[in-house]
Amino acid sequence: MRKKIVAGNWKMFKTYAQGLELASEVAHMVQDEVHGQVEVVLGTPYIHLYAVARQVAGVARISVAAQNCHQATEGAYTGEVSVTQVASTGAQYVILGHSERRQYFAEGAALLLSKVQAALAAGLKPIFCLGETQDIREAGTQDDFVRGQVADVLYKLTPAEMAQVVIAYEPVWAIGTGLTATPAQAQDIHAVIRKAIATHFGDELAQATPILYGGSVKASNAEELFAQPDIDGGLVGGASLQSREFTNIVKAMRA
């Protein structure tokens, strides 16, 4: 069975103290209320990583993700954080290719490939984000577009590397907008992504790859989305900033 994952992306929210409080609340709620096989990932700002990783170290099912990393293991890159540094905090995942990084920091396929490969080499599992903009969806070319995003980066990995990757399909028009893809729209494109993985890497690897949906996931829509056969969980932005709402989303994953 594929891994089921609900990951929160705190983005650039929460002071240090607020972040620790949020992580502690989520850890308690998950411990008390979540009994299935779902893995919960807290995608925190860099400054929280080490402390949150320690906080959740003894808690089953919870791990920690960075939201970005530099592709080098070390070097004179003032202000950057390396893959090795991220891994040394106890984080197991790193979110890469988020549409906000692609849009505001001009991260393209070549850079993302180098980050994905560096993360894997440092023992981190990439949560690789992709998804179309509103214009592409309106033109009806979203399937080709996401196939291209898969090919440009993930086809360059070895099968052993690909086996460590989690994909997050996040239609850009649904991120932080309150708009959500319908369960049928999301299922259709998740199936396209899985097929694209199968075409290059074979069916076994495609069937084992978790593909998360992201874009205004809330407790009220999570159950229907997560019930789709090719949706293996969620990447949650705004709703991950409240422990009750986020835990209810985790509980919507029937695993």
Q: Is 21 annotated in the active site?
A: no
Three-class secondary structure of residue 115 per DSSP:
helix
Question: Which residue reads 């992306």 in tokens?
Answer: 9
Three-class secondary structure of residue 98 per DSSP:
coil
What is the DSSP pairing of strand 233-236 with strand 5-9?
A: parallel
Q: Does residue 217 belong to the site contacting ligand PEP (CB under 6 A)?
A: yes
Question: Using the rule CB under 6 A, which residue among 116, 214, 219, 250 binds ligand PEP?
Answer: 214
Q: Cβ(6)–Cβ(236) under 8 Å?
A: yes
First to last CA, the chain: 10
Question: Would you give the DSSP letter of residue 4?
Answer: P
Q: Cβ(161)–Cβ(117) under 8 Å?
A: yes
Of 15-23, 28-36, 47-55, 210-218, the segment contacting ligand PEP by CB under 6 A is 210-218
Fill in the amino acid letter for 194.
R
Q: Where are the alpha helices (DSSP H) in 34-108?
A: 49-55, 83-88, 99-104
Of 23-31, 45-53, 107-115, 232-240, the segment contacting ligand PEP by CB under 6 A is 232-240
Question: Using the rule CB under 6 A, which residue among 36, 75, 108, 176 binds ligand PEP?
Answer: 176
Q: Cβ(154)–Cβ(96) under 8 Å?
A: no
Element (H, E) at 169: strand 166-169
Q: Is 28 annotated in the active site?
A: no
Question: Using the rule CB under 6 A, which residue among 71, 89, 216, 247 binds ligand PEP?
Answer: 216
Q: Which of 98, 100, 132, 190 is catalytic?
A: 98
Element (H, E) at 159: helix 159-162
| Residue number, 11 or 201, with CB nearest to ligand PEP | 11
Q: Does residue 83 belong to the site contacting ligand PEP (CB under 6 A)?
A: no
Size, binding site for ligand PEP by CB under 6 A: 13
Residue span 134-173 as binding mask against ligand PEP, x where in contact by CB under 6 A, dash where not: ------------------------------------x---
**Closest approach of Cβ 212 to ligand PEP, in Å?**
9
Of 16-24, 55-63, 79-87, 235-243, the segment contacting ligand PEP by CB under 6 A is 235-243
Tokens of 45: 């700002």
Residues near ligand PEP, by CB under 6 A: 9, 170, 175-176, 214-217, 235-239
Catalytic residues: 98, 170
